[in-house]
Chain A
Amino acid sequence: MAVRTTIEISGAKQNNLKNVSLEIPRDKLTVITGVSGSGKSSLAFDVIYGEGQRRFLDSISTFAKSRISQVKKARVDYVRGLSPVIAIEQKKSNNNPRSTVGTVTDINDYLRLLFATAGTGKCPECGHQLKQLSAAQIAEHASALPTGTVIELRAPVYKVFGEDYNYVFHKLREKGFKNLLVDGAPFSLSEKRELDETKSYKMELIIDRFTLRNDTYIQLTKSIEAAMIALDEDIMVKVEVVGGVDASFYDNFACPEHHYTLCEMQPFHFSFNSPASACHTCLGVGMSYVVEPRFLVVAPGKSINQGALKNTVFSTSSKDSYRTVMMYSLSQQYKFSLDTPFNDLPKEIHELLFYGTKGEPVKMLQPPFSQKRNWIIGRDRPFWGFVNELEAWYKNYIRKTSTTEAFEPNFINECMIEKICPECNGARLKTQRLQITVGGKNIDQLSRMQLPELLDFLTSLSFEADIREVADSIIREISTRTKLLIDIGLHYINLGRRSDSISGGEMQRIKMSTQISSELMGMLYVMDEPSIGLHPRDSNRVIDTMKKLRDLGNTVIVVEHDIDTIRSADHIVEIGPGPGVHGGNIVASGSLEDIMKEPASVTGRYLSGAAKIPVPKKRRDLGDTFLSIQGARENNLKNVDLDIPLGVFICVTGVSGSGKSSLINEILYKQLKVNKTGARIVAGEHDFLFGAELINNIINIDQAPIGRNSKSNPATYIGIYDKIRELFAMQPEAIARGYREIDFSLTHANGTRCEHCSGDGIIVTSLQFMADIETICPVCKGMRFSDEGLEIKYRGKNISEVLDMTVEEAADFFSDSRYLKHKLGIMNELGLGYMCLGQSSTTLSGGEAQRVKLAYELSKIKKGARNLYILDEPTTGLHLSDIQKLIDCLNRLVENGHSVLVIEHHLDVIKSADYIIDMGPEGGNLGGYVVAEGTPEQVAGIEASYTGKFLRTVL
């Protein structure tokens, strides 16, 4: 039998696909393209990936199956020629602050292994280089001393950051250690001890004492191991011979002067996720939390008595508590009223409440509203302030002695802000671990190096003969992985970078590189727009990576709109011709030439140059209003001062990692949001932001889902569903039956929705180790409403039929209603005509969600308002033919007096802007400057600007 060279799909009917059959070549790079909503993702992800995944999972045992969620069978007759399939999507990784580039790529595992095998330590006192020895080696060496010799095992003791000596001693005693040497003198923890907190002492713990005999060796080994574990996985031990010993005893064994030996290390000794190795203050997150006073005030317009403060801070309900007495007494002593709105209290009183009386005692007075006499009345108490008190709580939380559930992660999220951990400075590990180095650098220093620097460093290392083979093989693994990340254009990141700070596109590229490093062949990779978030300068790198995957012997299928990627494909499939019901057919399939020759292909017209987005003839003049950011320093920004003109269409550009998001999302958006709405967020580091008064509101139209509820849909989001319900409730039959508007809501129980399926139209049955089965609701037959409800008709259609209409159809149907026609018309113009009114918002793509939001904003434009709209890569998921529509809509916002600021890499959008701010010149440390500002023509003239260079080709 001949080897199958194609993937054969027959009768695909998933979503809007119209019984499609086609063949996709195996071991080739195939691009699936088409206008937005045409069915590309349905084909690539639901049919090809879904089927591949389902069949693969079918082959595993039922026991294993019961532990993983199962995949639904796609609506397709058959797919043949599938391989094990991996989807590399744009999903952002989890928000766990412990996840870093190093952990996601598994490079950290190798790095830890490298430190555990090749790491060298230093004597904590003189810095003498120490080689690691196992407990058995140490015991063996000591056992060579004559019988009867007394040896003492000791370990260094360090003061814990932010704690006093008592805390350290209390913890040691709890672990079962009583005897120390402080500056060489015996010191018992059972005796009264007085150490000066401001001084530092040389402290040594006496772990154990042995009188050597022939058979001590085994117990000695065990004792060292047990002590190291008891001391939170310590790695430093000292063998002291009572009565002294010949200096040669310490040769090749320990520091000749201070006798410290480094114990054998394990990879977990360098894992910030291991509690014994993590920094004591931040527990391995690298960030610590401080209370933000602003967040303690939940209702600044209310008075303290009305509940201005968070109730964990000050509860208005308890009338007799100590807190109430204190608050009343403070108000009497410092002459302020608890009934004045919090905002109207003088600044000194805010300071007093947050930071206390600085030791000044407060006379406790009986509040007149209190029914009971508090035991504290008449006494004097100092007040330390809410911020100080809460931070003390936080310390207890860190110490794991927290006494109240009030201080749980929720509270931290609500009232505290992150700052770099003051103990480890973001290194995440405890100091003892950072003393271990490879080639003179500790693991944190390596994690902070940008990848090319890390690669150079690692490849320059050389090791002693005994560990050379192991160390070299570990370095080889790290180097391969690092090189792949660099090749794919991620040269500006470092391994310590937190996953939640990298974009979906970057994460996708990281995953691609991990796949390549697996060197598997015969796989099928399905990818979603890998060009997103990439500057034109770097788009080749991703194309090269995909080719590399293909050349390893894999099949690569990419859903993509980027012209360069399409040109590089071996095979192109265009789905269309239009979106939604107008799509779902194969318009063209074949090589680049085939597509260009196909008259029905929209993509072909753009490829051949027959269609293109025109350069605007005239740019808008800049007005005299500006937003001005001064001293922006967030992430890699280099103290940037920048003026952003208002009332125009601005594009912020720059290579990945150049600081665009830091500047716009972290500083500009967040600070304006705080200024305009008092939002409970903290903007990125900067000095000032001027000009906030020049805009009415700041609106970020991002790609986050518009709702997580399966009952939220475009109609409810845009707000037209209220009007539709109103129309139905006004029908004579509805009035006769007494239906109200709310009875037509899908979320309202006991209305007209089907109560069997709660308005979902489907019933989900969980089948243990088989995929959950969704069946059409037997009661409403998928109509989502009860028969009674469906009897109400508006112009011959019932409510269910209306929800099944596409935006396009609905615009026609509701042409009588100016309101509905206007809103639906805008959605149509944005290319959302194919979308059903009742389509669950959970099924919308990020790009679609963004456009629904944009439509919502466009539909409520009011004359006279001046808003600033921020959009991050709005071209995601947009076909070239849809981009023109997007640009038109953005221009419409500007023409109505608003300002639009877009972060974008798409040259067609960039060239259409009035003003460009180009960041760079490179990513990472070499970025963070504004390289060029001005009209596209001006930026094109600037040599240093990469964006300028590419603009020259399109202007």
Chain B
Amino acid sequence: MDEKSQEILKARYMAAVESFIGKVRDDPNVIAVIISGSLAYDVVWEKSDIDMTVIVRDQPLKTDSYCIVEDGIVINAYLLPRSSFKRGMEGNIGGSFGQSYFAKGKIVYTTDESLHDYFEDIKKIGSDDIALSLFYNACTLVFIYEKAQKWLTARKDPLYSQYFLLKAAEVIANMELCKAGEPASRESIQKALKINSQAIAPFYKDAMSHHLSEKELTEAIKKIDSYLEQCIDVVKKPVIEFMEEQEIKTTTLIAKHFHAEGHYVVEMFDYLADKGVIEKVSQTIRITPKSKPAVEEIGYLYIP
């Protein structure tokens, strides 16, 4: 699409937004209208829809999303009471989907000037959030790392192992952006290539250029490990912060703290134990209040 057509199309889309705003302007319940997605920061095309968040006065809502139409364009409008919006923004960990969704959005209408400050604030990713976000991404990367290994060595399916490298590319790209304090998006790989092409190339360009040999695959998988190792000092921070009491933390306890599934964090914690950051132990438990026999649950221990 040439620049001019893009401009015309974007103007049509913005007109649709304005038309919607015109209709809700007199509604005291509507405090702000925010657009996200393609219209806010990227190129639109004929099939684009509009992602919109409508901030309303605090009230119970039975339905919180509508597909509205303006000039034949679909507006996916999500309603959020102001207090929930404000707390959602502050509660979102920098680098998470929620944060990146709004960080790349735009306020197009508001009766509450204070919301601009919040919007600016959400674009900043704090150092602790970076560490936590890298931790979550690393959990996924460890999973991919192990699966790529499995398909290569145990399943003897190099092509499928190579597919896992592509998955690794996206996660590593997100991690690179996160380190740079930028929100992740569907364009993460393209953006990360500009920041650190060396880190992405083995899993993206190289992995898509040809069928990798077993040797090449082994090399690439090793590179995932070394990438993880490079990040370990940051990734371990939230873990150590949680475990600094030096008491045994079982996987269920860890999963509750990080709001994640037990099996999801186990692989990551095992990886950290392999690297000597923490120690793997076990804890005697009973699985129901009436159970007499005791079983062992995996736990981890941090010893400085």
For the complex, give the distance between the alpha carbons of A176 and B279 in Å: 32
- A150:B57 contact, CB within 8 angstroms: no
8 contacts between A and B (CB under 8 A): A170-B257, A176-B86, A190-B124, A213-B111, A219-B31, A389-B248, A403-B251, A405-B287
Which residues does chain B contribute within 8 Å of A226, judged by CB atoms?
58, 83
Does B291 lie within 8 Å of A405, measured CB to CB?
yes
- Interface residue? A191 (CB, 8 A): yes
Give the shortest distance, in Å, between A546 (CB) and chain B (any CB).
46
Q: Could you say which residues of chain A place their CB within 8 Å of the CB of B281?
A: 322, 376, 381
- Encoded as 1 (CB less than 8 Å from any A CB) or 0, chain B from 22 to 43 comes to 0000001001000000000000
Residues of B contacting A191 in the complex (Cβ-Cβ under 8 angstroms): 126-129
Say if the beta carbon of B174 comes within 8 Å of chain A.
no
CA distance A756 to B128 in the complex (A): 71
List which B252-286 residues lie within 8 A (CB) of chain A: 252-253, 256-257, 279-286
| In the assembled complex, A259 has its CB within 8 A of some CB on chain B | no
Residue in B128, B247, B250, B303 whose CB lies within 8 Å of A190: B128
Q: Which of A307-315, A667-675, A729-737 contacts B (4 or more CB under 8 A)?
A: A307-315
Please give me the residue from chain B that is nearest to A174 by CB atom.
Answer: B91
Asked if A166 contacts B241 (CB within 8 A), the reply is yes
B-side residues, CB < 8 A to A, are: 28, 31, 57-59, 81-83, 86-91, 93-94, 111-114, 117-118, 121, 124-129, 241, 245-248, 250-253, 256-257, 279-289, 291-297, 299, 301, 303
Complex-state Cα separation, A508 to B283, whole angstroms: 48
Minimum distance in angstroms from A234 CB to a CB of chain B: 14
Cβ contact within 8 Å between A188 and B126 = yes
Verify A381–B301 contact, CB threshold 8 A: yes
List of B residues within 8 angstroms of A389 by Cβ: 247-248
User: Do the beta carbons of B253 and A403 come within 8 Å of each other?
Assistant: yes
From A222, A313, A375, A382, give the contact of B280 (CB < 8 A).
Answer: A375
Does the CB pair A208–B86 fall under 8 Å?
yes
A313 to B288, CA, bound (A): 16
A191's closest neighbor in chain B, by CB? B126
Interface centre among A173, A222, A403, A410 (most CB of B within 10 A): A403
Q: Does A813 contact B (CB under 8 A)?
A: no
CB-CB under 8 A for A312 and B289, given A218-B57, A321-B284, A392-B245:
no
Q: Tell me if B285 and A405 are in contact (CB < 8 A).
A: yes
The answer to whether the Cβ of A230 comes within 8 Å of any Cβ in the partner chain is yes
A318 to B87, CA, bound (A): 47
Number of A residues whose C-beta is below 8 Å from B? 58
- A226-B83, A322-B296 given; A210·B282 CB < 8 A: no
Query: Cβ of A150: which chain B residues have Cβ within 8 Å of it?
Result: 113-114
CB closest chain-B residue, reference A151: B114
Question: Are A175 and B87 in contact (CB-based, < 8 A)?
Answer: yes
Please measure, in the bound complex, the distance between the C-alpha atom of A191 and the C-alpha atom of B31, giving whole angstroms: 29
Apart from A209-B117, A379-B279, A401-B257: 15 A-B pairs, beta carbons within 8 A? A177-B87, A178-B91, A190-B124, A190-B125, A210-B114, A211-B114, A222-B59, A222-B81, A318-B294, A322-B282, A376-B279, A381-B303, A382-B303, A403-B256, A404-B283
Q: Is A216 at the interface (CB under 8 A from chain B)?
A: yes
In the complex, the chain A residue whose C-beta lies closest to that of B262 is A403
Q: What 1/0 mask marks residues of chain A from 305 to 334 whose CB sits below 8 Å from any chain B CB?
A: 000000111110110011100000000000
Residues on A facing B (Cβ under 8 Å): 150, 166, 170, 173-179, 188-193, 208-211, 213, 215-216, 218-219, 222-223, 225-227, 230, 311-315, 317-318, 321-323, 375-376, 379, 381-382, 384, 389, 392, 396, 401, 403-406, 408-410
In this complex, what residue of B is CB-closest to A359?
B246
Complex contacts, B251 vs chain A, CB 8 Å: 403
CB contacts (< 8 Å) of B284 on chain A: these are 311-315, 318, 321, 323, 406
Residues of B within 8 A of A392 (CB): 245, 247-248
Q: Does A396 lie within 8 Å of B111, measured CB to CB?
A: no
Docked complex Cα distance between A321 and B296 (Å): 7
Chain A residues closer than 8 Å to B296, beta-carbon distance? 318, 321-323
Residues of chain A within 8 A of B250, CB atoms compared: 403-404
Residue of A nearest to B257 (CB): A401
Contact partners of A409 in chain B: CB under 8 A: 289
Are A177 and B257 interface neighbours, CB within 8 A?
no
Known A193-B128, A218-B57; contact A311-B292, beta-carbon cutoff 8 A: yes
Whether A177 contacts B90 by the Cβ 8 Å rule is: yes
Known: A384-B247, A396-B253. A406 touches B31 (CB 8 A): no
A742–B176 Cα distance when bound, in Å, is: 79
Q: How far is the CB of B91 from chain A (nearest CB, A)?
A: 4
Most buried by B among A213, A322, A323, A379: A322
Check B294 against A311 for contact (C-beta < 8 Å).
yes
Chain A residues within an 8 Å CB radius of B128: 189-193
Cβ contacts under 8 Å, B28 to chain A: 215, 218
Q: Which residue of A lies closest to B255 (CB)?
A: A403
> Complex formed: what's the CA distance from A315 to B256 in Å?
26
Specify which of B252, B288, B291 is in contact with A403 (CB 8 Å cutoff): B252
Contacts of B94 in A (CB 8 A): 190
Shortest Cβ gap from A399 to chain B (Å): 9
Q: For the complex, give the distance between the alpha carbons of A175 and B285 in Å.
A: 30
Given the complex of chains A and B, what is the CA–CA distance between A241 and B257 in angstroms? Answer: 37
Tell me which residues across on chain A come within 8 A of B247, comparing CB atoms: 384, 389, 392
Pick the residue among B86, B88, B129, B297 that contacts A404 (CB under 8 A).
Answer: B297
Query: Which residue of A has the minimal Cβ distance to B93?
Result: A190
Whether the Cβ atoms of A219 and B252 lie closer than 8 Å is no
Most A C-beta atoms less than 10 A away, residue of B256, B285, B289, B294: B294
Contacting pair B248 A175 (CB below 8 A):
no
**Using Cβ atoms and an 8 Å threshold, which residues of chain B touch A321?**
282, 284, 296
With a cutoff of 8 Å between Cβ atoms, the chain B residues found around residue A317 in the complex are 293-294
Residues of the A chain whose Cβ atoms lie less than 8 Å from the Cβ of B93: 190
Bound complex: CA of A173 vs CA of B258, how far in Å? 12
Nearest A residue to B130, CB-CB: A190
From B31, B89, B121, B282, residue with most partner A Cβ within 10 Å: B282
Measured between alpha carbons, how far is A439 from B28 in the docked complex, in Å?
44
The 3 residue pairs across chains A and B that have the minimum distance between CB atoms: A176-B87, A190-B126, A222-B58
CB neighbours (8 Å) of A381 from chain B are: 279, 281, 301, 303
Cβ B83 vs Cβ A223 within 8 A: yes
Q: Are A403 and B113 in contact (CB under 8 A)?
A: no
Residue of B nearest to A403 (CB): B252
| Nearest Cβ on chain B to A623's Cβ, whole angstroms | 49
Q: Which residues of B contact A190 (CB under 8 A)?
A: 93-94, 124-129
A179 close to B294 (CB less than 8 A):
no
Q: How far is the CA of A323 from the CA of B241 in the complex (A)?
A: 25
- Name the distance in Å between B282's Cβ and chain A's nearest Cβ: 4
- Tell me, rounded to whole Å, the shortest Cβ–Cβ distance linking A174 to chain B: 7
Contact A210 B112 (CB under 8 A): yes
A109 and B20 CA atoms in complex are apart in Å by 52
Q: Is the CB of B91 within 8 A of A323?
A: no
The minimal Cβ–Cβ distance linking A677 to chain B, given in whole angstroms, is: 24
**Closest residue on chain B to residue A321 by CB atoms:** B296
| A401 pairs with B256, CB closer than 8 A | yes
Q: In the complex, A208 Cα to B285 Cα: how many Å?
A: 44
A173-B297 contact given A210-B112, A215-B28, A403-B252, CB 8 Å threshold:
no
CA distance A408 to B287 in the complex (A): 11
Query: Looking at the complex, which one of A211, A311, A312, A323 makes contact with B113 (CB distance below 8 Å)?
Result: A211
Chain B residue, CB-CB nearest to A150 = B114
Smallest CB gap from B282: residue in A? A322
Docked-complex contact A219 and B257, CB < 8 angstroms: no
Please state if B293 and A222 are interface contacts (CB–CB under 8 Å).
no
A166 / chain B contacts, CB cutoff of 8 Å: 241
Q: Is the CB of B297 within 8 A of A176?
A: no
* Residues in A whose Cβ lies below 8 Å from that of B81: 222
Our pick among A193, A208, A323, A408 for the contact of B282 (Cβ within 8 Å) is A323
Q: How far is the CA of A170 from the CA of B299 in the complex (A)?
A: 21
Q: In the complex, what residues of B have CB within 8 A of residue A213's CB?
A: 111-112
What's the minimum C-beta distance from B128 to chain A, rounded to whole angstroms?
Answer: 5
Give the Cβ gap from B217 to chain A, nearest Cβ, in Å.
28
Query: Hey, which chain A residues are within 8 Å of B118, CB to CB?
Result: 209
In Å, the complex CA distance between A150 and B118 comes to: 14
